[in-house]
Structure 1
Amino acid sequence: MSAQRNGGCLCGSVRFVALGEPMRTLQCHCRFCQRMTGSTSYAESMYAVDAVEFSGEPMSRYSHRSESSSRQVHVHFCPKCGTTITLTFERWPEYRAISRGAFDDPNSVSISSHIWTSSAQTGVVLPAGTDCFEFARADLAGSPQAPARFDAPQMARTGASDPPP
């Protein structure tokens, strides 16, 4: 039997079922994700587009041009309460990111890496034993990047203008 995770928005108008295990769950610290969430970062589980089924209210969409790839990132959200449910990508049309916080049980998926740590805000702690990438997991040509791993939790920044370690 395949794994199934249910979730939805804050008001319950949008619901989804994600089938199977996510390809990965990561925490993104880029400025886009900070602005999109109004917080320090965005946690997302990556699925194949056809592995997630939606019901309820049709979602609204906002499209934003990525500063790094110049491709569109589409934010899909509840038109009633504004909860970001999913992202889709012009660059990767076969994938969909599901907001970790939108799962009924967000702890059912574990964060395997942190990306764009170069943009992390002060006060953010990068966990021990987790892959941390200064930018994306791969460059624009698709070449994998080398992660940093820490033996102990590590502050991403120590001051407002300090670069991460």
Structure 2
Amino acid sequence: MSEIHEGGCQCGSVRYRTTGQPHRTAVCHCRYCQTRTGSAFGVSAYFNGEQVEVRSGELNRYRFTTESGRSFETQFCPTCGTTLFWTLGLWDGVIGVAAGTFDPPSFWFDVTREVFTRSKAPFVTLALAESHETTASYAPVAGDSPRLRGQ
């Protein structure tokens, strides 16, 4: 039997279940994750789509194009606004799950990687096995909006 974990949004309207282990995890310091979370970074657990099941509630979606020209779509509770999932145009069929939305223990998987340290908050100090200024797939075709660059 595969490992099962459940989670949901802050108000409890949306509930989900994951099966098995995530195939990738990371702490991400990119500006998109900073604005998505309203914090210094996001903690992400990536699963194949068939490993994630929304068990109750409805989700709103917000889609935009990254500076690398790829789609980024967040899915969030329309009642409380909690972002639960996202998909990246780079990884077809893969769903990112906001690690803090899992029921306790929220951080049940290993995180050994951090990405986009170039925009890391100066007060954040992590001791992870891998640390990358961007990612291998980072290939900007346009600049981010001035507000994301602090202009």
Fold conserved between structures, TM > 0.5 = yes
Instruction: Tell me, in whole angstroms, the C-alpha distance in 2 between the residues paired with 1:113 and 1:88.
Output: 19
Determine which structure has more spread, i.e. the larger CA radius of gyration.
1
Task: Specify the alignment match of 2:71 in structure 1.
Answer: 72
Residue ranges of structure 2 left out of the alignment (5+ in a row)? 140-151
Question: What amino acid does structure 2 have at the position aligned with 1:25?
Answer: T
1:77-121 CA distances to partner (integer Å, 9 max, x unpaired)? Answer: 001001110011222121110000011021212212000001101
CA contact (8 A) 1:116 1:134 kept: yes
1:41-52 equivalences in 2 (<5 Å): 41-52=41-52
Quote the residue 1:161 is aligned against.
Answer: none
Following superposition of structure 1 onto structure 2, how do residues 102-141 of structure 1 map, counting pairs within 5 Å?
Answer: 102-104=101-103, 105-127=105-127, 129-136=128-135, 138-140=136-138
Pairwise mapping of residues 1-165 of structure 1 onto structure 2 (< 5 A)? Answer: 1-67=1-67, 69-104=68-103, 105-127=105-127, 129-136=128-135, 138-140=136-138
| TM-score (norm. length: structure 1) | 0.79
List alignment gaps of at least 5 residues for structure 1: 142-165
Deviations 1:9-40 (A, max 9, x none): 00110011101110121000001111111110
* Separation in 2, partners of 1:10, 1:61: 17
Instruction: Give 1:140 deviation, angstroms.
Output: 4.8
Query: How far apart, in 1, do the equivalents of 2:72 and 2:126 lie?
Result: 25
How high is the TM-score relative to the length of structure 2? Answer: 0.86
Aligned residue pairs: how many? 138
Render the CA deviation track for 1:32-60: whole Å, top value 9, x for unaligned: 11111111000010100111000221100
Hey, what's the Cα distance between the residues in 2 that align with 1:34 and 1:107? 19
Over the aligned positions, Cα root-mean-square deviation in angstroms equals 1.3
Following superposition, which runs of at least 4 residues in structure 1 exceed 6 angstroms of deviation? none
Q: Which amino acid aligns with 1:17?
A: R
Q: Report the Cα distance in structure 1 between the residues aligned to 2:89 and 2:129, rounded to whole angstroms.
A: 28
